[in-house]
């Protein structure tokens, strides 16, 4: 199914409003989800709408949060997310971090107690669009085996980075610390497709190409991804006094309760280290020089990190976003909550 980004945004917002979000919050969540789909990140796009709806309807997402920034120093603070939509809390916290970095040159803002926030690049690019460098990282529920282990402990624990270039350019990347995010498993399921055999393992710990047989993900780069997952868990969990590691709440259990997740934004004003215009010119120069590198066999050209998402969006602006039929059918239907996701719901 092909759909325009504006139509997709409106469909998502309407469904979330019917579930109980305020129009303002529904628009923010819809913008983040449409942002993801428009860049081919379908794992964090509209396919998540039905899950959010179910959690909202069951009371596991606060629709009337009392947001509060607690300043803990001249360049630091804790944004209390009150178990609201993670997209809304993370975006509001990033605005606070940008303002703080504008005052002091750097800001570190932790988001305490929030729901799932989707594609982290949305928030780091929020800062880059304002002329700041940003790093963001967040917790995820246990779904990955540690290097050398057979049982899950950490989540996908993603990290995102963005920096502003000249003329509205930027460099940006967003990565899970596992080979793939769990959402890519869900996307493969929704499309009845297979996955590469290095993404995940089945209940026996063996590599699988069947997305329906997946029980755990594997860290990217073995011990390196394992170390990054640990770092994210410390900075976005333990540092904020939140549940960590295997104690992080499940996405699909106890959907009547808040998830108490953590996220950390680090925002830097390039001007406290160098001339910001020169910084932007050099970021753009980096993009051009990477593009000019001779491509290896099998590749058409070398892209800067995140540039492939820009190319996808340019195509989708012409052809429409490639959306799974099952996702579109739900969005245009009269159904709201279908009790699809909760794993520990009582039978009957």
pLDDT digits (tens, 9 = 90+) for 84-109: 999 999 999 999 999 999 999 999 99
> CB under 8 Å to 26, separation ≥6 — which residues?
12, 13, 14, 16, 17
Active site residue 265: no
Q: Which residues make beta-bridge pairs with 69?
A: 79
- Cα separation, 179 vs 144, in Å, equals 10
Report angle CA 49, 219, 140 to the nearest 5 degrees.
Answer: 35
44, 80, 87, 116: the active-site residue: 116
**Cβ–Cβ < 8 Å for 258, 60:** yes
pLDDT in tens, 253-290: 999 999 999 999 999 999 999 999 999 999 999 999 99
Tell me the domain boundaries of the chain.
2-178+219-275+314-332
User: What local confidence, expressed as pLDDT, does residue 141 receive?
Assistant: 92
User: What local confidence, expressed as pLDDT, does residue 348 receive?
Assistant: 40
With a cut of 50, which residues of the chain have pLDDT below it? 347-348
User: What local confidence, expressed as pLDDT, does residue 345 receive?
Assistant: 63
Phi, psi of 298 (to 5 degrees): 95, -5
Q: What is the rounded radius of gyration, in angstroms, for the C-alpha atoms of the chain?
A: 20
> CB under 8 Å to 162, separation ≥6 — which residues?
121, 124, 125, 127, 128, 133, 134, 170, 171, 172, 173, 306
Q: Which residues make beta-bridge pairs with 107?
A: 267
User: What local confidence, expressed as pLDDT, does residue 194 receive?
Assistant: 93
Q: Provide the H-helix boundaries in the chain.
A: 5-19, 23-38, 49-57, 86-104, 121-128, 182-190, 223-236, 276-291, 307-319, 325-332
What is the b/e burial string over 116-140, where b = at least 16 CB atoms within 10 angstroms of the residue's CB? bbbbbbbbbbbbbebbbbbbbbbbb
Which tokens is 182 given? Answer: 């769990």
Record the pTM: 0.93
Pairing assessment for the beta strands 106-114 and 76-80 based on DSSP bridges: parallel
- Cα separation, 334 vs 299, in Å, equals 45
What is the rounded (10 degree) CA torsion for 17, 20, 24, 30? -50
- Cα separation, 248 vs 233, in Å, equals 10
CATH class of the domain whose range is 2-178+219-275+314-332: alpha beta
């Amino acid at each position: 199914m092909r759909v325009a980004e504006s139509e997709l945004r409106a469909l998502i917002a309407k469904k979330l409003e019917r579930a109980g979000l305020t129009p303002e919050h529904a628009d923010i969540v819809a913008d983040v989800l449409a942002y993801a789909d428009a860049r081919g990140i379908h794992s964090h796009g509209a396919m998540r709408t039905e899950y959010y709806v179910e959690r909202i309807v069951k009371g596991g997402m606060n629709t009337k949060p009392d947001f509060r920034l607690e300043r803990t120093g001249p360049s630091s603070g804790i944004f209390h997310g009150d178990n609201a939509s993670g997209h809304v809390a993370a975006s509001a916290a990033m605005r606070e971090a940008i303002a703080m970095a504008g005052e002091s040159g750097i800001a570190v803002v932790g988001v305490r107690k929030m729901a799932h926030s989707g594609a982290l690049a949305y928030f780091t690019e929020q800062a880059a669009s304002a002329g700041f460098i940003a790093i963001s990282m967040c917790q995820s529920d246990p779904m990955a085996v540690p290097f050398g282990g057979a049982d899950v402990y950490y989540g996908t624990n993603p990290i995102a980075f963005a920096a502003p270039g000249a003329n509205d350019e930027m460099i940006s990347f967003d990565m899970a610390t596992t080979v793939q995010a769990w959402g890519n498993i869900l996307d493969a399921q929704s499309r009845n497709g297979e996955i590469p055999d290095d993404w995940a393992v089945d209940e026996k710990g063996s590599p699988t190409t069947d997305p329906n047989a997946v029980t755990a993900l594997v860290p990217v780069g073995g011990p390196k991804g394992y170390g990054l997952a640990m770092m994210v868990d410390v900075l976005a969990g333990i540092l904020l006094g939140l549940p960590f590691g295997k104690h992080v709440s499940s996405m699909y259990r106890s959907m009547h309760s808040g998830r108490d997740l953590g996220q950390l934004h680090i925002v830097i004003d390039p001007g406290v280290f160098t001339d910001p215009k020169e910084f932007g010119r050099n970021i753009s120069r980096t993009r051009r020089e990477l593009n000019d590198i001779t491509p290896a066999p099998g590749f058409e050209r070398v892209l800067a990190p995140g540039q492939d998402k820009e190319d996808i969006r340019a195509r989708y602006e012409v052809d429409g976003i490639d959306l799974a039929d099952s996702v579109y059918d739900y969005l245009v239907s009269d159904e709201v909550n279908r009790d699809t996701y909760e794993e520990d719901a009582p039978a009957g």
